[in-house]
Amino acid sequence: MAHVSDSESASSTDSHNDWYTEQVTHELMMFIAAKSATFTCGGAIPIKDIEQDPMNLSSDPVASPVALRWDSADSNGGIAKLVFPIDATGDGKDGLLKLISDTQPASFGYKGEHVQDESYRKASKMDRSSFSVDFCPYELGIVDTITQMLLPNARRGYDTHGVKAELYKMNVYSAPSGFFKAHVDTPRSDTQFGSLVVSLPCYHQGGQLVVRHAKHSVTFDWGRSELSNKTEPLIQWAAFYSDCEHEVLEVTEGHRVTLTYNLYYALGVGDLAGNSPVMDVKMLPLYKKVQEALDSPNFMPNGGYLGIYCEHAYAHSTAEGINALPGILKGSDMAVFAVFQALHLKVAIRPVFDLDDFELGMNYDDEDSEPRQWDLIGMNLSQPCFTDRGGGDGEDPEYILAEANGERLQICWLTQPKNPSLGMVHLTYGNQPEIDALYTHAAIIVTVPKRNSSKAGGEVDMAARPDID
């Protein structure tokens, strides 16, 4: 009889574990590489009557009961109202039946037509123009979650940082046998990248939403069954990309009420500096101040450069940071950029070399031979430059600085430097060669044109203002 010692059996268990770990690791690797990790996301938010619990101090999101109002031909005043969660033992049941009687049979898109076919979709719908609802997916953080979870892997082409969730329809799937066979939503425009479905709390069983992508599927079961451990009313939601096939399985009991939203790429935080169509730049407190300065004939009559060091850090010498600027400017940086741009001055974000510990940064003005401060300003934001040029004692520092793609400008600075980032790496030659680094600060450089002296009051010559970058 074969005898297996403890150590032999331990080592065969170990090797099985190793094999198993390798298999699972491989599967996980393939899954993440296939971008299947994030084709859909969803969640649940409990509903509490906040008016009855105004001191809810928990940081967990809580939804209020949802009031739905709709056009109803046979109601007093033509408007009916229903509050979710529905009290099925009270007036709720009648209200729900009234709602259903005011909906129309839902169609689906087939070859560009709206088709009604109960073998494909058995549901009823209400268009958004016929109802209003006080549920807002932005308030509960659902849109922020979608923005961070789904937007980064959405199809390329639109490089925005924001999402617009546009209410589309309300759907009711009722027992017996409300369902919607597997389909892909028809995108409403080029900028649509997905759909959001929100389930309002209303008793039902079945009606699971199954979302599929590349052989994987996720099932959202928003119903309540005897076995379900859901005891409190919930707002439940799911979002998925437009190319995901999805279906609603049969509702076997009750009524499943959902709101659907189309998800679009939209300008968001990080896109808006100098490009915020909803903001009137003239209303910024800084606008009037700058305009007054520019209107004064004594302000920089010979023109020149104004410099405003960026208040916030933007990783301005990395490829990502450079790409994101100027859209990502925020706070006072955003205001400064927008105001000067709106006043038709040339505005650019440029790196300013910090020469404090490097050399005096002095040059001499030929005319009055007084020392004047000139700054070394990079022509464009760029990644750090590396050079094997170096200098020892007595070496002209310009020899090294010539490697930077910059120019010497005299700037009238309005703020102090902040947030240094690596700008140049060079050698130094002393007793032994060493490496040293120069840092840059991102600054908004504004070109103020020379006054047109022939004009009364010394107005800035608009025609002389250069184009905006």
- Which parts of this chain interact with ligand AKG (CB under 6 A)? 171, 180, 185, 197, 209, 246, 248, 258, 260
Min. distance of Cβ 236 from ligand AKG in angstroms? 10
Q: Residue 260: which of ligand AKG, Fe ion, none does it interact with, CB under 5 to 8 A by kind?
A: ligand AKG
* Calpha distance 384→317 (Å, rounded): 6
By beta-carbon proximity to Fe ion, the closer residue of 131 and 168 is 168
464 three-class SS:
helix
How many residues of this chain interact with Fe ion, rule: CB under 5 A? Answer: 1
Cβ(400)–Cβ(426) below 8 Å:
yes
Min. distance of Cβ 210 from ligand AKG in angstroms? 10
By beta-carbon proximity to ligand AKG, the closer residue of 248 and 308 is 248
* Calpha distance 237→149 (Å, rounded): 14
Min. distance of Cβ 317 from Fe ion in angstroms? 45
By beta-carbon proximity to ligand AKG, the closer residue of 131 and 353 is 131
By beta-carbon proximity to ligand AKG, the closer residue of 184 and 427 is 184
Work out whether 185 is an interface residue with Fe ion (CB under 5 A).
yes
By beta-carbon proximity to ligand AKG, the closer residue of 219 and 405 is 219
* Calpha distance 262→189 (Å, rounded): 10
Q: Residue 171: which of ligand AKG, Fe ion, none does it interact with, CB under 5 to 8 A by kind?
A: ligand AKG
Give the type of residue at 169.
K
**22-41 positions binding Fe ion, by CB under 5 A:** none
Residue nearest to ligand AKG (CB): 258
Q: Which of 150, 130, 106, 132 is nearest to 263 (CA)?
A: 150
Min. distance of Cβ 110 from ligand AKG in angstroms? 13
Cβ(403)–Cβ(440) below 8 Å:
no
Alpha carbon 151 to chain centroid distance? 7
**What crossing angle do the helices spanning 331-342 and 285-295 adopt, rounded to 10°?**
40
Q: Residue 86: which of Fe ion, ligand AKG, none does it interact with, CB under 5 to 8 A by kind?
A: none
Q: Residue 318: which of Fe ion, ligand AKG, none does it interact with, CB under 5 to 8 A by kind?
A: none
Alpha helix positions (H), 196-315 = 285-295
> Other C-beta atoms within 10 Å of 452: how many?
14
* Calpha distance 251→169 (Å, rounded): 19
By beta-carbon proximity to ligand AKG, the closer residue of 84 and 180 is 180
By beta-carbon proximity to ligand AKG, the closer residue of 198 and 328 is 198
Min. distance of Cβ 32 from ligand AKG in angstroms? 27
* Calpha distance 37→33 (Å, rounded): 9
Work out whether 173 is an interface residue with Fe ion (CB under 5 A).
no
* Calpha distance 247→179 (Å, rounded): 8
Min. distance of Cβ 198 from ligand AKG in angstroms? 9
The region, left, alpha or beta by phi > 0 then psi within -120 to 50, assigned to residue 278 is alpha
Q: List residues binding Fe ion (CB under 5 A).
A: 185
